[in-house]
Structure 1
Amino acid sequence: MDAAGDVSERSRSTEHFVLVHGAGHGAWCWFRLLRLLQDSGHRVSAVDLAGAAGSLVDPNDVRSFDDYNAPLLNLMAALPDGDKVILVGHSAGGLSVTHAMHLFGDRIKQAIFIAATMLQFGYQTEQDIKDGVPDLSEHGDVYDLTFGLGADHPPTSVALRKEFQRIILYQQSPAEDSALASILLRPWPTALSMARFGADECVESVIHRVRRVYIKTANDRMVKPEQQVAMISRWPPSEVMVMDTDHSPLFSATEHLFTLILKSL
């Protein structure tokens, strides 16, 4: 059977995909992929994490990573007994996916990381920060900070300035999509940088039972290719796929991304 036929055959098995956005984005960013998955007969849930565009929460009011990730964890907790989902995380959404793996590993059939932060225990070490935190210093001062608790306290949210959004996130994406993103992107809670997960033997055995797939983005200016390689090397997934795209293949190469996701099943 050829590749197209193989994908068609796999797509006949109905799955429940849970799509998890990255920092500053929201459920809206999956609109192209969501349609392709639904048209193939799959069930799709796109989550708005706390502070996202579709959330009623002010990002400056999010005080912990658990609070930030609560919408995903609540969805996982509400799954009917016996149901298993395929988690798909983009960019910093990888942290949310791994957090869910620690807590609900028995409800996850597969985890797919797209240009994503893939750290087994979150930001526990200096190496985790080096591998997982974007280094955008070459562009100068790219962030706007909000000090929701006052100037004498640490910032409560951060946003990528509009003039840097396309060149860092969407340089290969349709201009219409990056224009849409410029309207819908929101500041994200600094609590996202507090992501840490337990490392006891019981938890480790659960997360290692979840099959992981990593989709690398070769022209990524946010989570740079060398960072992706470092995370893959430190915590090798079951399969690695590569796309010749920017940080946002959900815009720049949606159909190719869709094909790879189905092939990974």
Structure 2
Amino acid sequence: MSQRVFTFPFLFFLVLFVISFSVWYGSEWSDDHVDYLRVISEGRITKRVRCPMPHFVLVHGYGGGAWQWYKIRALLETYGYKVTCLDLKSAGIDRSDACEVRSFEEYNKPLINFMANLSDHEKVILVGHSAGGLSVTDASRKFGKKIGVAVYVAGTMLEHGFMTDQDKKDGIPYYALSNLNNYKCVSGLDQPSTTLKHSRYQINANIGPQEEEVLGLMLHRSGPPLKAIVGAQFEGDGADDVPRVYIMTRYDHVLRPAQQAAMIRKWAPLKTYVVESGHAPLFSDPFVLSGLLVKAANFIECN
């Protein structure tokens, strides 16, 4: 009995320490959690500067929604970060009919509107998971001065979008690529895609605990016609001015590691991390992923 009494508090404080370390890793905090301190080396001179507390803006992948970030949001907000999770058009609780979304520009409009309404003096950390990477690149071209770091989590990172057949091979999950012409959008606010519903969760079964898969099946909605997403094409070079971080997923059966590596070679980010997870570390490895997002915040320039 006494051994059980001793073990429980020990495990409690051990878990608390792991959570604290995962989110804290990569930054040093001030007491008020309004700003945080960073050590910057300039030649032989090392100085401590006070930077604004980063604001994370999290963008979901195809067929998902803001709800997918619930674990990451909870962790980051617990430690004082500001976090915004967006629903793109027809996703999550947005009541638009996916079948009425005719272009990527229309699909990504909620993010573009959000960025347009930010203060000119605010810089966010823009994070995209999976196809959300396209949204990040689009926003980086239009609002580069408002983005401190762009982070791609197993994301589609193509400098100009789907300009070539090779871009499609690199940036589209193989099962979706083979279904481009067969995909049938299902009208209705609560109807998932009949074409991709089974394959999506069968292939993505390694996301974590079974309850996460069940939650996904319950909340997953039909995405816009795939041709609308594949129509994402970007002109200009504005996105190159935004520091980029890529988080690879080693055991990904959706956007395979070879595809991720090909995109990294073609448009090299400032930093690449590797997570030992499947396609959705936001479900299966939230402590690791949130820690890496905090590390990415260190790439924001501040004076």
TM beyond 0.5? yes
Q: Is the 8 A contact 2:130 2:156 kept in 1?
A: yes
Q: Is the 8 A contact 1:158 1:189 kept in 2?
A: no
Matching residue within 66, 77, 83 for 1:38? 77
Question: Match of 2:208, as an amino acid?
Answer: S
Q: Does 1:59 align with 2:94?
A: no
State the partner residue of 1:125.
Answer: 164
Q: Is the 8 A contact 2:161 2:234 kept in 1?
A: yes
Q: Does 1:18 align with 2:18?
A: no
Q: C-alpha distance in 1, partners of 2:143/2:121?
A: 12
Q: C-alpha distance in 2, partners of 1:182/1:158?
A: 11
State the partner residue of 2:6.
Answer: none
Q: Does 1:109 align with 2:148?
A: yes
Which TM-score applies when normalising by structure 2?
0.77
Q: Is the 8 A contact 1:10 1:263 kept in 2?
A: no
State the partner residue of 2:273.
Answer: 241
Q: C-alpha distance in 1, partners of 2:177/2:138?
A: 31
Question: Match of 1:66, as an amino acid?
Answer: E
SS at match of 2:93: coil
Give the C-alpha shift of residue 86 in structure 1: 0.5
Give the C-alpha shift of residue 122 in structure 1: 0.6
Change (3 A) 1:172 1:71: closer
Q: C-alpha distance in 2, partners of 1:147/1:59?
A: 8
Identity score, percent: 41
Which TM-score applies when normalising by structure 1?
0.87
Give the C-alpha shift of residue 187 in structure 1: 1.1
Deviations 1:24-83 (A, max 9, x none): 000000000011111111111101001102111100011111110000000000001211
Deviations 1:190-211 (A, max 9, x none): 2112101113xxxx1x321211
Q: C-alpha distance in 1, partners of 2:293/2:220?
A: 25
Unaligned runs of 5+ in 1: 149-156
Change (3 A) 1:27 1:172: closer
Change (3 A) 1:126 1:41: same
Q: C-alpha distance in 2, partners of 1:138/1:92?
A: 13
Unaligned runs of 5+ in 2: 1-19, 37-52, 298-303
State the partner residue of 1:7.
Answer: 26
Question: Match of 1:125, as an amino acid?
Answer: T
Matching residue within 189, 194, 209 for 2:231? 194
Matching residue within 242, 251, 260 for 2:283? 251
Q: C-alpha distance in 2, partners of 1:94/1:242?
A: 17
Q: Is the 8 A contact 2:186 2:193 kept in 1?
A: no
Give the C-alpha shift of residue 6 in structure 1: 4.4
Change (3 A) 1:10 1:235: farther
State the partner residue of 1:175.
Answer: 210
Q: Bigger shift: 112-121 or 183-192?
A: 183-192
SS at match of 1:188: coil
Change (3 A) 1:174 1:106: same
SS at match of 2:95: coil
Q: C-alpha distance in 1, partners of 2:117/2:196?
A: 36
Question: Match of 2:272, as an amino acid?
Answer: V
Q: C-alpha distance in 2, partners of 1:140/1:91?
A: 18
Deviations 1:130-186 (A, max 9, x none): 100111289999x751377xxxxxxxx956544333332241411111111101111
Change (3 A) 1:95 1:137: closer
Q: Does 1:209 align with 2:244?
A: no
SS at match of 1:208: helix
Which structure has the larger Rg?
Answer: 2
Change (3 A) 1:221 1:101: same
